[in-house]
Amino acid sequence: MERELYGRIRQTLRTLRVAADPRQTYSDRRVVEVLLWAALHDRPISWACQASHWPADLRPGPLISQPQMSRRLRTFAVHQLLTVLYAAERDQLPRSLLKFVDGKPLPIGGCSKDKDAAFGRAAGSIARGYKVVCITDEYGAIDAWGLGPMNLCEHHEAVHLLSHVPDTCLLGDAEFDKNHLYEAAARHGIHLIAPLKRSAKALGHRRHSPHRLTAHRLLATEAGQHLMATRPTVERSFGNATSFAGGLGPLPAWVRRPHRVALWVAAKFIIDAARRLQLLQRRTA
């Protein structure tokens, strides 16, 4: 499966038009190929820099050394290429007007010396690590994501993701029932719908966004309840992204500090999109 997924990703990567820098011995495409090979096998970059860990027919020529990989992975060009690669894969997957927003914790060990990791709410507990906030499609694909420490305010991070899903209907849990988020969503033509917290009896007497009031009136109807019943879709999306070999599982010991976590998550989402494409083509064949 790893060979097939990697071959699919590499095929998409090589169709992208990437500006070549004549000063570079190794292209940005080569850097991304090594990163994805490591992420696909849940191994550190240093592992993928050794020729013995590659099949001869998949090894992309002379391999880059680990120190040079570390430097190149910090460059804007490589990050941009990862973004373009994911977009190329995402464009091949179906889209819907219904979207979901939620956060996924990425815990690490309590003894880690990572000074950027923080304690925050995870799934039913308090954990230390990072959190990724995602907007997912009704069909499971991830349309936009943002990363922060575990104590990240999900509704604040969601504001930065709205521009990626204009003119849609966005469902969130009570964490996203915020006036400022409703206003930001409306500016992008997004119909945000999020319920009150279970402990809240009413909205209160303060001024509220008219878009928030409209959403709560909808939730009081049968149609609104049927709409909110689809929210577990985001949980299935996260589950599918983690439940296969090479998926986004717990952060391994060598993935620490925000820049490494961001690269790891980006690589895992690219792998997840390739797997979804593979399954889609098998179903439609």
- Bridge partners (DSSP) of residue 126 are 121
Q: Please indicate, yes or no, whether residues 211 and 123 belong to a single structural domain of this protein.
A: yes
**Residue at a domain's end among 69, 91, 113:** 91
Number of other residues whose CB lies within 10 A of the CB of residue 20:
9
Catalogue the E-assigned strands of the chain: 98-107, 118-121, 126-137, 142-149, 169-171, 191-193
Number of domains within the chain? 2
> Cβ(16)–Cβ(85) under 8 Å?
yes
pLDDT (tens digit per residue) in 93-116: 999 999 999 999 999 987 888 999
Helix (H, G, I), strand (E, B) or coil at 131: strand
Candidate from 81-85, 156-160, 267-271, 281-285 with smallest mean pLDDT: 281-285
Using the structure block, give the residue that is written with the tokens 């979901």.
Answer: 100
Q: Please indicate, yes or no, whether residues 231 and 110 belong to a single structural domain of this protein.
A: yes
Q: What is the pTM of this model?
A: 0.93
pLDDT at 146: 96
Q: Please indicate, yes or no, whether residues 75 and 107 belong to a single structural domain of this protein.
A: no
Give the number of residues written for the chain: 285
Q: Please indicate, yes or no, whether residues 225 and 112 belong to a single structural domain of this protein.
A: yes
DSSP per position, 94-106: ---SEEEEEEEEE
pLDDT (tens digit per residue) in 2-25: 788 899 999 999 899 877 777 888
Number of other residues whose CB lies within 10 A of the CB of residue 171:
23
- Domain with 38, as residue range(s), is 2-91
The token pair at 139 is 């069909």
Residue 43 within any structural domain of the chain: yes
Q: Please indicate, yes or no, whether residues 191 and 128 belong to a single structural domain of this protein.
A: yes
- Bridge partners (DSSP) of residue 98 are 169
> Cβ(193)–Cβ(215) under 8 Å?
yes
Residue 252 within any structural domain of the chain: no
Average pLDDT over residues 22-38: 91
First to last CA, the chain: 18
Using the structure block, give the residue that is written with the tokens 């950027």.
Answer: 116
Helix (H, G, I), strand (E, B) or coil at 231: coil
**Residue at a domain's end among 35, 59, 91:** 91
